[in-house]
A and B are shown apart, each in its own frame.
Chain A
Amino acid sequence: MEPGLLKSADWPLLIDLYFFLGGIAGGAFVIATIAQMLDSQRYRDVVRVGYYLALLAIIPAPIFLIVDLGVSSRFLHMMMVAKPDAAIGVGAINIGPFHLKPLSPMNAGAWALLGFSGFAFLAALLVFLEDVRKAARLGGLRVVVGIIGGFFAFFMAAYPGVLLGATARPLFVSAHWLGAMFVAVGMATGGAAIALIMSSMGAQARDALSRLMKVTAFALIIQLVTLILFLVAVSSAGSAGSSRALSVLVSGQYSVAFWLGIVVVGLLVPLALQFGGAIRKANPGMVALISVLVLLGGFLAKWVIIGAGQMVLS
């Protein structure tokens, strides 16, 4: 097919930012939950920073989404409409005015955003209550909130990739790896954001910083692997559209941002620094630098891929 005949949703920077913040929030929440379950006392600061960060990062999310809509006042239609009995898709579930469409990642994502926001608020509230009371009586409840919220958190990081894969855009539709890659990006940027904040806490945070760098390094490796698998899948798709879309990414308009921004600055340099001693030494300045690079690369991973995939090809 002539790829120029396909249309693009033209999602703007706001949507890239939403996907980026959703990934950070999801990653930070999961890391906080894991740290809490393994040793809530020792990793107290990781838990506190992680849960607070998850809430702060997710607060602007609905605003970005609502502003981007053609009719912003209808944002609730994502989950509820006054006409629930129509044939609106395979597997669609209508309960009262509400609807859930499992095959529409945007609909499922709206529900996940609602659920995650609730758990992010609860987790941050529980941390706050403990801070105020200076006691750990709410530990059991926090574990429950952390585990259930953790599922929503992973969903928040992953679903934008699945959403893109369920379009007709040649760059997105030919590969299955965007969701998997966005999970890794979310984990890496979530870990980097916590580490960036904790790098200002001084020497007492070094153990946590070292561990956060390990989490981030591991997620970056998975990001690199899934990125390679993504490129291989698109290049072997064999359609004229997919090869043109790929060329926009790797040798066209977005190539500099892709190779220099995502691959070198966002992946290779942080990994080289981490395995070059940053994990072991956990020098706060170096950790902060790595974190900034990872965050930059994580944002570019979303901006570049979404931008290149949405370009109308001719």
Chain B
Amino acid sequence: MARTLAMFTDVSLCIGCRACQVACKQWNELPVEEPEWTGTYQNHSNFTDKTYRLVRFIEKKDEKNQLQWHLMSDVCKHCAQAGCLEACPTGAIYRTQYGTVNINQDICNGCRYCVSACPFGVVAFNHDTGHANKCTFCNDRIHNGLGPACAKACPTESIQFGFRDELAAKAQKRVVTLREMGYKNAQLYGEDQKGPLGGLNAFFLLLDRPSVYGLPEKPKLPQNNVFVDSLLSIGSAIVVGIGAVVAFRERGGKGDI
């Protein structure tokens, strides 16, 4: 496997210009969608089958009741342990040699299991094509040394693309700097490869708790449940099976009733 590639999004540098969102749309030839009123500048409220990059505009009051704006360019996390990939019954969702997670559109049959298995609500179903869609890290571009369109377009380098180990080192320094500057809640999300989901290949530097940005505090791999759920099912099968054996073995016959 080649060296893992990653995307590091530093929300402290995001100015909410949405160049990333537009660049993603343009490169991936994603059609326009009806805008929706979300209460902020954010459009849309969540990822769709035609929006793989999404700038979140989050309004939150601080301790002094002052309104704060949190801006964050969100994207598929390309999890090291990916719920969508494990769920996919067809093998359409696969891991590339760079560690990213892609959906092979020629194999996907539109069962939508990946949609409900993503802990981040990223994967979306396209009713026109009958396939599931999500960010590919611009698979065609990275195989040609171009880097994803969103990272290329970002004017503030809030989105950085490169080798995971190098980006992680950079992110760790940056979080220390921000804390020294007074951002006491600054934290990395998904950078730790020993953390939830084995680390995220699109990781973030956040200025507040993950839940403020709509991210789960401790995302879990849904497939971790399969073993325990199966054991309990086997237990239940044994119990109801014994019940049936007892019912058909009990004494009593045609003459008794």
- Give B60 Cβ to nearest chain A Cβ, in Å: 12
Q: Which residues of chain A are near B248, meaning CB under 8 Å?
A: 34-35, 38-39, 43, 211, 215
Candidates A158, A182, A215; contact of B243 at CB < 8 Å = A215
- Whether B240 contacts A107 by the Cβ 8 Å rule is no
- Give B219 Cβ to nearest chain A Cβ, in Å: 8
* Assembled-state Cα–Cα distance A7/B47 (Å): 9
* Assembled-state Cα–Cα distance A68/B110 (Å): 8
Candidates A9, A179, A181; contact of B115 at CB < 8 Å = A9
* Assembled-state Cα–Cα distance A67/B229 (Å): 28
- Whether A34 contacts B241 by the Cβ 8 Å rule is yes
- Whether A187 contacts B111 by the Cβ 8 Å rule is no
* Assembled-state Cα–Cα distance A215/B248 (Å): 8
Q: Which residues of chain A are near B222, meaning CB under 8 Å?
A: 165-168, 173
Is B140 in the interface zone, CB < 8 Å from A? no
- Whether A106 contacts B116 by the Cβ 8 Å rule is no
* Assembled-state Cα–Cα distance A158/B203 (Å): 37
- Whether A30 contacts B241 by the Cβ 8 Å rule is yes
Residue of A nearest to B232 (CB): A180
Which residues, 201 to 243 on B, are CB-close (under 8 Å) to A? Answer: 210-211, 214-217, 220, 222-223, 225-226, 228-230, 232-237, 239-241, 243
Candidates B89, B118, B131, B243; contact of A107 at CB < 8 Å = B89
Q: Which residues of chain A are near B116, meaning CB under 8 Å?
A: 6-9, 167-169, 310
- Whether A173 contacts B225 by the Cβ 8 Å rule is yes
- Whether B247 contacts A9 by the Cβ 8 Å rule is no
Candidates B211, B234, B240; contact of A184 at CB < 8 Å = B240
- Contact sample, A vs B, 13 pairs, CB 8 Å cutoff: A1-B210, A7-B123, A71-B129, A78-B89, A81-B107, A106-B87, A154-B241, A158-B230, A165-B229, A179-B236, A182-B233, A218-B244, A222-B239
**3 residue pairs, one from A and one from B, having the closest CB atoms:** A70-B110, A70-B130, A218-B243
